Structure 1
Amino acid sequence: MPSIPLDTALSPDEAERLDALHDHAILDTPPAPDFDALARLAAHACGTPVAAIGLLDRDRLWFKARVGVAHAALPLEASLADDTARALGGLLCVPDLTEDPRFRDHPVRQMLPDWHFYAGAPIEDEAGHVLGVICVAAPEARGLEAGQRQALTDIARLSWHAIDAHAQRRTLARQAITDPLTGLANRAHFDQALTVELAHAMRRGEPFTVLVMDLDGFKEVNDGFGHAAGVEVLRAVAERIQAQVRTGDVVARFGVDEFGVVMRHGGRDDAQVLARRIVRAVANPIALSSGDTVGVGISVGIAAYDDDVDSPRTLLAQADQALFEAKRENEKRWKLFIGIR
């Protein structure tokens, strides 16, 4: 059975399958003990020197785990993944690739000329999307006993659970450092980023700055238009702040209407330019889903790393002091902390 041509447009089903695979964010990830164990188990159960867990990307079969396989991936047309995915009964077993007319001239014979025996089972998610295959191979022609067939399909099922567990761990890890309302970093992530950046600056002497921000007029919007409107405002402000920073800078939401930025590789002047952009961006009117338009302002306190800074707490205290002065003066909306010399 020929593999699906790769130069055709994706069918809706194939696009949906690829979306399901990519949603699990497992492609091109490092080796993992649970997947390695499943590949070894497949090789042991089937008595083969070769076993692999492969994931079906658009144009390649990428191996998450492999035993006796030198390739990290194969071109999809040079693998038996598509044929395995379509196999009747959920298992493809080919005693001898050189004798089976379906595969005698298959590109896999050129890629892996020493393979004769092949067996594989599809790895399906709960919606029936085939995300990959678990396969075994051997240089000699042979078959699988009933118990080995069952073992291979069972390992395919376990492989799906391992993929799902990987995605759940990733989601939990992301949630642990993310503000659920805005999608920005949370305070824990901000504190970690600040600690790492301070340690780097103390070693290398490279400048960086911290900005802490507080919305002006948010309470009036929240009280006047309701909690849902307040949520829309916070999300709009978060998007506007995020749009002003550079890749690598960390933007976080601290409290109800408090935000912060760890600005890497930027000194006082750079931070003041950023503060000016943020103030201008946030000041633009915000259109609510109700049809109303509201406005808020933002005050910014800036503290830059120097030799007097010995801890994250010191830098944050300086930024908080600058923020207090910015709100008190109420002139240009941002203030740079200047220590007493």
Structure 2
Amino acid sequence: MRVSVPSIPHVVLPNRPRIPPAEAIERLTNFLRPTKNVSVLTGAGVSVDSGIRAYRGKDGRYMNPNYQPIFYHELMDRTEKGFKFRQRYWLRSYLGYPPIRDAQPNRTHYAIAALQYSGNVSQLITQNVDALHNKAASSFWSDSEIARHILQLHGTLHRVRCSSGHKVDRETFQEMLSISNPYWKQFVDDMDERGEKPRTNPDGDVALEGVSYDEYKVPSCPECHDEGRGNSAFKPEVVFFGESIPELDRDASFKHVDSSDRLLVIGTTLATYSAFRLVKRALEQRKPVLVLNVGPTRADDLPGLEKIEVPTSLVLREVVRELTGQKAAEDPVLAQLLNSGVYMPPFDYEEYRDESGIEPGEVVTPTTSTVGV
């Protein structure tokens, strides 16, 4: 089986000219103002200010050129070879999940939540598996409302299931891994004590050098054990490379695009076809499409596409204020959303930090309810 990692064609790599933030705010406001029926599509770039690295930098290339993801068929292989892939994946994910779990929504997450709360955006489709959009929306929506208005196109890291379909809460599975691997539990505790965090990818994976995975124990599914069989073929509820998006989610993404009047794309290179085809679908229906992303995208050469290259942290909250007027100050929920969000990009993301002009480290978040992710 030959499966490749999605990439951006070389022909679209040149960037478009940047525009001043004030002009970007005006264009975005004019794009959103004519209708309340807008769908938003987001990608990994939206979560960078929360401390989660994107796969690709401003030039559209992988930040780690040696990045080697595990494919779906490798992870779920029931042979000894597949078990070795699971040892590698679950050790790295065991280390990488806590920073994703503990990350907080940034200004862009809250600005998008404000657009939904104010009725300016009808539906959000996200490729991200960190559930930060859910956290931002949990200050005004219940779990059921979040599920209706936010489609996690590529799944979530916060739930795990075995190959037989038995579900396990991610915290429970983390504890299972800790009990099975006391050395690595101590390793994590020592890192926490030193205030260190591993270099985590958007999928919760981390890069480890010079580590043997042979001794790492992947526990068996308790329910499969009760049924008289062993089964260590666990995976998070994330769509892996080489895996198809569940039909219900695929059809829901089509429905959201079909029923909306226009599509706003934020923080994604659109390298994955599941996202790229939504942009193509909207353009084929002659709907206005605007991409807000720093750097090239797979869709840059599509006719009819409008694009703005400005960091979202500079403009999106001001767009909400322009659209909502006096309500932005008078509505307590909206006011809180527009004054909330962390700005904590990874320490080595100078390219984002330099362009934002904002000092990292600010943490302002509203009180949120416990939300199912």
TM-score of the superposition, structure 1-length normalised? 0.22
Structure ID, larger Rg? 1
Structure with the larger strand share: 1
